[in-house]
Structure 1
Amino acid sequence: MDWKIELISIPVTDVDRAKDFYTSIGFVADHDHRVHESLRFVQLTPPGSGCSICLGEGITDAAPGSVQGVQIVVSSADEAYRELVAAGVEATPVEELPWGRFTYFADPDGNKWAIQEFPRRG
């Protein structure tokens, strides 16, 4: 039996601002539905990912900006960094560590993301 992580809730203060931010860095807007007055569900997926994020109203009780440590794996941290900066995102310069190359950024609410390029093997 497979156990797949397919959806992560990201708490935000302004759904439209967050949706604009994530689509500006390449996430695909899969769904945006107002289920009822107190529930709006927005699903966004990074290009090539099997896991999406959701944000909205009535989705989570977590404080906006409280998510830390979500990691995206890419083939080139340098290219990811350039794309983030080109989209107007404050990202850290690429850092080289024994377990990969990383750049970091936060969304407008302060939810923190890591982008990792795995080290080349052999």
Structure 2
Amino acid sequence: MSKAANPLEAPPVYLEPPIGEMMLEVVVIPVSDVDRAKRFYADLGWRLDLDFAADDGYRVIQFTPPASSCSIIFGAGITTAAPGSAQGLHLIVADVGTTCSKLRERGVEVSEPFHDSRGVFHHIDGQSRVHAAHPQRRSYGTYASFKDPDGNSWFFQEVTARLPGHEAPLPK
């Protein structure tokens, strides 16, 4: 790591004046087979919030991961993005190893825990990847990954202590 101040310890900086609260509520996931995707995300144990179908083939399915305030939506007629093009989506978990074990029991193919040798954030192409949990189990430092049937990529990131300015409760 460089000799510059550690950005992980710096207080949050926001635009002034504030433009109001903004909460990420929904992420659209492009899929090729709506029913296959629905089975996959149900098998993850995510809550099915909505399955709406219209006569013209339009369909919206919404799932919410456990304890998340952000949901995913996929379906027919809701995005022009190529199936599998959602990359690098992150889910915060309290223990990557336990989460991976539970998903494997459900038949989900999940990577082994890993960390980035540079210690800030993982590289999407796997460069600098070390196939083990962060040696000090530093918060934000251990990851695992999986893909849905279309290839949309997800990462688990282990967080045990929040950064300054991130007051959301941690997963249990």
TM over 0.5: yes
Q: Which runs of 5+ in 2 are unaligned?
A: 1-19, 120-139, 163-172
Percent identical pairs in the alignment equals 42
Q: Say if 1:78 and 1:94, in contact at 8 Å, map to a contact too.
A: yes
**Which whole-Å CA distance do the structure 2 matches of 1:107 and 1:3 have between them?**
28
Cα displacement (A) at 1:118? 2.1
Higher strand share: 1
1:1-122 equivalences under 5 Å are 1-97=20-116, 98=119, 99-118=140-159
Task: Name whichever of 33-42 and 18-27 sits farther off.
Answer: 33-42
- Distance in structure 2 (CA, Å) of the matches to 1:71 and 1:36: 34
C-alpha displacement at 1:88, in angstroms?
1.0
Q: What's the TM-score once normalised by structure 2's chain length? A: 0.67
Do the aligned partners of 1:71 and 1:116 also contact (CA within 8 Å) in 2?
Answer: yes
Partner Cα separation in structure 2 for residue 79 and residue 36 of structure 1: 42
Q: Which has the larger radius of gyration?
A: 2
Deviation of 1:2 after TM superposition, in Å, equals 1.1
SS in 1 for 2:38: helix
Asked if the contact 1:26–1:46 (Cα under 8 Å) also holds between the matched residues in 2, the reply is yes
Question: What's the RMSD between the two structures over aligned residues?
Answer: 1.5
After TM superposition, the score normalised by the length of structure 1 is: 0.92
Uncovered stretches (5+) of structure 1, i.e. residues with no partner? none
The structure 1 segments of at least 4 consecutive aligned residues displaced by more than 3 Å after TM superposition are: 96-99
Contact 1:101–1:119 at 8 Å: present in 2 too? no
Structure having the higher helix fraction is: 1
Kindly tell me the number of residue pairs found equivalent between the two proteins.
Answer: 121
